[in-house]
């Protein structure tokens, strides 16, 4: 049922209500935790009620209300600590359209299926991209930061890297690289080893991105490049947005220079000889009227694409591995179907059709992306005075589309705090409860261009992992997610892998 512009009510399980207490591994995504002194301290900060802007005289719209938070910082500390639980709290208190302040800027939080649909489905160009404030200096003129016709033109050229035929070729080359790398995580002769999963995955996915998109071995410079990308992404939410010594902003600018130098050094060879990788493709692409990408555009696109390709995949693979460690029954189900495929194909590299046929792995991946999407939302900006669900939004307003809130709403999902991959099976298909219930790759014109490649990459990595190892995560361990532009485990996600 609907109350005002809020959807209320709770889906009941197709199996009946479980009667189980909230799942402790995920309740922190929905409810603000209080088991740490910092959480309790942040929760004690008094709210400062604030109105975004008064509607014009004679307007039938209403003002957007919310909490301005601390001076300058606003509610940034709460978001970095709590992520989706912070957004869920705003949604419950103020409804699907609310305001908050972050780093001195008033922002509007849009959450819930109806509110998101109004923004994403708007035919009129009322909203442009809003990422410049956060990542503009570090990923300038990347595909996500382009708008309207220019974005469409650049996206069409870049789409050449993601056709099904190209994906099939990439997949054939990807599998041996992944299997060989993962086999080395536990040295020969050792029965087990504890690794920090997140940085280990990050190095692997950067190697994959280098091979797939540049036809280059990044090994000799891997550590420097990983650090540069990390510095750029962490700088997005830097509290001090000036290059002061020791600050995240300065580190991000330094990381950007490292990445520019790396890609510029490769440009002459890529322009000289046309090959099948994306880097070369961008160097040789021509528009219908003969236009070409300049060196700066090629470098900008490569920096953004490599970041998007390996950062998001790292978070997704980390989340899947975490949940498989928490739920050994699902780990065994996934392993059984991977080994069955190996038996059918004599261990050959899986095809796209093979990966699509791994049903249990697909269910686990979708449920992991529901609970922890690598991109929890999208930043937009009002390019003219407009409204959302009757709320007045003045031109220039920064807007946060909170996709992850939709993933956790009890109106859309049965017991959303539970890890329950079967909610995606054909009998239940809870992701169909609303067109915008499940948005792991975004929606609209800026929907992830590499979503199919990313899906196949994560499946390939997890398949190799369950072939080689078993692992189990203690009941009392809960992943300490941190939140910048892309979620990451603050402790690196330590895990003990045991050879099978």
Spatial neighbors of 184 by CB under 8 A, at least 6 apart, are none
| 128 and 25 fall within a common domain | yes
At 4-52, the pLDDT tens digits run: 334 444 454 444 444 444 456 788 999 998 889 999 999 999 999 999 9
pLDDT in tens, 197-225: 999 999 999 888 887 778 777 767 888 98
Going by pLDDT thresholds of 50, 70 and 90, the confidence category of residue 57 is very high
Q: What are phi and psi of 108, to 5 degrees?
A: -110, 130
* 72 within some domain: yes
Neighbouring C-beta atoms of residue 40, cutoff 10 Å: 12
Residue 12: the pLDDT is 46
Q: With cut-offs at 50, 70 and 90, classify the pLDDT of residue 287.
A: low
Residues 263 and 348 in one domain: yes
C-alpha closest to that of 103 among 125, 82, 127, 133: 133
Are 431 and 463 in contact, with CB atoms under 8 Å apart? no
Binning the chain into helix, strand and coil, the percentages to the nearest 5 are 50, 10, 40
pLDDT in tens, 410-429: 999 999 999 999 999 999 99
Residue 88: closest CA among 111, 115, 113: 111
Residue 45 carries which DSSP code?
S
Q: For the domain that residue 302 is a member of, what is the CATH number?
A: 1.10.630.10
The pLDDT assigned to 24 comes to 63
Annotated binding site: 448
Percent of the chain with pLDDT over 90: 67
Task: Tell me the binding residues for heme.
Answer: 448
Average pLDDT (369-398) is 95
78 pLDDT above the threshold of 90: yes
Burial classification of residue 112, based on how many CB atoms lie within 10 Å of its CB (0-12 exposed, 13-18 middle, 19 or more buried) = buried
Which is it for strands 49-51 and 6-7: parallel, antiparallel or unpaired? unpaired
Of 447, 434, 465, 433, the residue nearest 364 (C-alpha) = 465
The CATH number for 60's domain is: 3.30.43.20
pTM: 0.89
> Could you give the CA distance from residue 179 to residue 411 in angstroms, rounded to a whole number?
41
Residue 418 lies in a domain: no
User: Are residue 55 and residue 6 in the same domain, yes or no?
Assistant: yes
Q: Check if the beta carbon of residue 430 is closer than 8 Å to that of residue 424.
A: yes
Residues 338 and 485 in one domain: yes
Q: Is 169 in the same domain as 123?
A: no
Same domain, 222 and 293: yes
Residues 233 and 103 in one domain: no
Long-range pairs of 58-64 with CB within 8 A, sequence gap ≥ 24: 59/392, 60/390, 61/387, 61/390, 61/391, 61/392, 62/390, 62/391, 62/392, 63/391, 63/392, 64/97, 64/98, 64/99, 64/108, 64/391, 64/392, 64/393
- The pLDDT of residue 223 is 82
Q: Are residues 250 and 222 in the same domain?
A: yes
Q: Give the side-chain half-sphere CA count within 13 A for 139.
A: 29
Whether the CB-CB separation of 84 and 408 falls below 8 Å is answered with yes
In a shared domain, residues 170 and 89: no
Q: What local confidence, expressed as pLDDT, does residue 158 receive?
A: 77
Q: Where are the beta strands (DSSP E) in 282-339?
A: none
More confident residue, 124 or 494: 494
Query: Looking at the domain assignment, is residue 453 inside a domain?
Result: yes
Residue with tokens 């555009």: 297
Give the residue from 492, 462, 458 showing the smallest Cα distance to 313.
458
The share of the chain scoring above pLDDT 70, in percent, equals 94
pLDDT over threshold 80, residue 81? yes
Give tens-digit pLDDT for 230-242: 899 889 888 899 9
Q: Are residues 476 and 360 part of one domain? A: yes
Q: Where are the alpha helices (DSSP H) in 23-63?
A: 27-30, 37-43
* Rg value, the chain, Cα: 23
For residue 183, the model assigns a pLDDT of 95
Question: Is 179 within the bounds of a domain?
Answer: yes
For residue 175, what are the domain limits?
A: 151-377+442-499
Q: What is the per-residue pLDDT for 440?
A: 93
Comparing 14 with 442, the larger pLDDT belongs to 442
Measure the CA–CA gap between 439 and 376, rounded to whole angstroms.
9
Q: Are residues 67 and 168 in the same domain?
A: no
Indicate whether 465 pLDDT > 80.
yes
The set of residues, in sequence order, having a beta carbon less than 8 Å from that of 35 and lying 6+ positions away, is none
- Tell whether 395 and 465 lie within a shared domain: no
Q: What is the rounded CA–CA span in Å between residue 202 and residue 182?
A: 12
Q: Is the dihedral of CA 394, 398, 404, 405 positive or negative?
A: negative
Q: Are 262 and 238 a contacting pair, CB within 8 Å? A: no
- The number of domains in the chain is 2
Length of the chain in terms of residues written: 500
Please determine, for residue 88, whether its predicted confidence score (pLDDT) is greater than 60: yes
- Name the nearest CA neighbour of 393 among 382, 378, 377: 382
Residue 412 lies in a domain: no
Contacts of 29 (CB under 8 A, 6+ apart): 83, 84, 85, 371, 372, 408, 417
Average pLDDT over residues 330-340: 98
Calpha distance 44→47 (Å, rounded): 9
């Amino acid at each position: 049922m609907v109350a005002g512009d809020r959807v209320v009510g709770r889906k009941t399980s197709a199996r009946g209500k479980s009667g189980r207490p909230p799942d402790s591994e995920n309740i922190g995504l929905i409810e603000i935790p209080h088991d740490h002194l910092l959480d309790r301290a942040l929760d004690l900060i008094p709210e400062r009620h604030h109105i975004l802007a008064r509607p014009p005289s004679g307007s039938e719209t209403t003002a957007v209300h919310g909490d301005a938070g601390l001076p300058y910082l606003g509610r940034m500390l709460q978001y970095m600590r709590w992520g989706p639980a912070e957004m869920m709290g705003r949604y419950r208190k103020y409804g699907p359209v609310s305001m908050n302040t972050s780093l001195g800027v008033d922002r509007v939080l849009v959450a819930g299926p109806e509110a998101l649909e109004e923004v994403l489905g708007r035919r009129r160009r009322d909203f442009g991209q809003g990422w410049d404030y956060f990542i503009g200096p570090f990923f300038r003129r990347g595909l996500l930061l382009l708008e309207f016709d220019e974005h469409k033109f650049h996206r069409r050229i870049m789409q050449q890297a993601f056709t099904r035929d190209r994906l099939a070729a990439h997949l054939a080359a990807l599998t041996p690289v992944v299997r060989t790398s993962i086999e080395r995580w536990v040295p020969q002769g050792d029965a087990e080893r504890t690794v920090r999963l997140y940085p280990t995955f990050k190095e692997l996915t950067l190697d994959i991105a280098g091979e797939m998109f540049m036809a280059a071995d990044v090994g000799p410079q891997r550590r420097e490049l990983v650090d540069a990308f990390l510095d750029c992404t962490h700088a997005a939410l830097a509290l001090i947005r000036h290059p002061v010594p020791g600050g995240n902003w300065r580190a991000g600018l330094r990381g950007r220079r490292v990445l520019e130098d790396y890609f510029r050094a490769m440009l002459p060879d890529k322009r000289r000889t046309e090959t099948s990788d994306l880097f070369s493709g961008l160097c040789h692409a021509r528009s219908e009227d003969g236009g070409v990408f300049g060196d700066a555009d090629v470098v900008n696109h490569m920096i953004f694409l490599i970041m998007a390709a390996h950062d998001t995949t790292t978070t997704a693979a980390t989340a899947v591995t975490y949940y498989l460690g928490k739920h050994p029954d699902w780990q065994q189900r996934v392993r059984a179907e991977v080994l069955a495929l190996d038996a059918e194909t004599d261990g050959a590299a899986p095809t796209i059709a093979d990966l699509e046929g791994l049903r249990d792995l697909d269910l686990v991946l979708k449920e992991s992306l529901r609970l922890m999407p690598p991109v929890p939302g999208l930043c937009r900006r009002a390019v003219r005075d407009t409204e959302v669900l009757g709320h007045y939004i003045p031109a220039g307003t920064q807007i946060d589309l909170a996709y992850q809130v939709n993933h956790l709403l009890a109106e859309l999902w049965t017991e959303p705090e539970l890890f329950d991959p079967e909610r995606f099976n054909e009998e239940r298909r809870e992701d169909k409860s609303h067109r915008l219930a499940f948005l792991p790759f975004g929606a609209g014109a800026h929907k992830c261009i590499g979503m199919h490649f990313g899906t196949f990459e994560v499946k390939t990595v997890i398949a190799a992992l369950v072939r080689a190892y078993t692992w189990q995560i203690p009941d009392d361990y809960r992943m300490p997610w941190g939140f910048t532009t892309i979620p990451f485990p603050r402790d690196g996600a330590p895990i003990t892998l045991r050879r099978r």
